[in-house]
Structure 1
Amino acid sequence: MENRYEQFRETVKPALKSKIEEFKLYGYDSVKEDELWNFLCKKKWKRDRDEKRLYQVVEDILSVKVGEYMNYATVEAFKSPDFFKDQGLKELSKLL
């Protein structure tokens, strides 16, 4: 997802990794860096009108709460296409 915060992505990689490690401490081992970045772009920074500075971007990353991210991930999972709707149905019909 290309946006105005993409310029910070390489610079804030250590903050992203730190947050991912925090998630792992809480037992959420499956969260990936790209998923966290997409969450920030789609939710945290969705309505931002003003240009953020580097320290503000890092602050936003480090302030993400596990529950906040997991709520987002759950909603995104419900939005994804149903496996059985397309390809899964074909696979099931082959098995029957």
Structure 2
Amino acid sequence: MKHESTHPSDEFYELLQPALASKAEEFLLLGYGKVKHEELWDYLTKKKWRKMDCPPVLYQLVADILSLKIGDYMNFATVEAFRSPNLFANIESEEMQELLNPQK
């Protein structure tokens, strides 16, 4: 899948796929479910690499990916989910009613 963005590190996206895959697999082994490469990239570009002082260097990008902590990613993902306008889009209307009226 092609990633579309305009972050300075985007030129390394394809080269960083093995590191992203390794980190996603680590999260899965730790019991956090499947995390997509694009989701990890989103965290890195929006949070970790938001303010890059100098042009990106491949070895530093790899080190950043491999040192990513699950707690940092999960905090980011939670905030992003609450910002999303489609937070409840996948919930059926009956499920929504149960959530809103739990006394049944």
Letter in 2 for 1:37: W
Aligned to 1:37: 41
Runs (4+) of structure 1 moved beyond 2 Å? Answer: none
Cα distance in 2 for partners of 1:58, 1:82 equals 32
* Ranges in structure 1 where 5+ consecutive residues have no aligned partner: none
* Ranges in structure 2 where 5+ consecutive residues have no aligned partner: 94-104
When residues 12 and 83 of structure 1 are mapped into structure 2, their CA distance, relative to the original with a 3 A threshold, is closer
Aligned to 2:26: 22
For these two proteins, the number of residue pairs brought into alignment is 88
- TM-score, length basis structure 1: 0.82
1:2 Cα offset (Å):
2.2
Q: Does structure 1 residue 58 correspond to structure 2 residue 62?
A: yes
Aligned to 1:2: 6
Letter in 1 for 2:14: E
State the Cα RMSD in Å: 1.9
Helix, strand or coil at the partner of 2:77 = helix
Helix, strand or coil at the partner of 1:31 = coil
Question: Quick one: higher RCO (CA 8 Å, sep 6+), 1 or 2?
Answer: 1
| Matching residue within 77, 80, 84 for 2:81 | 77
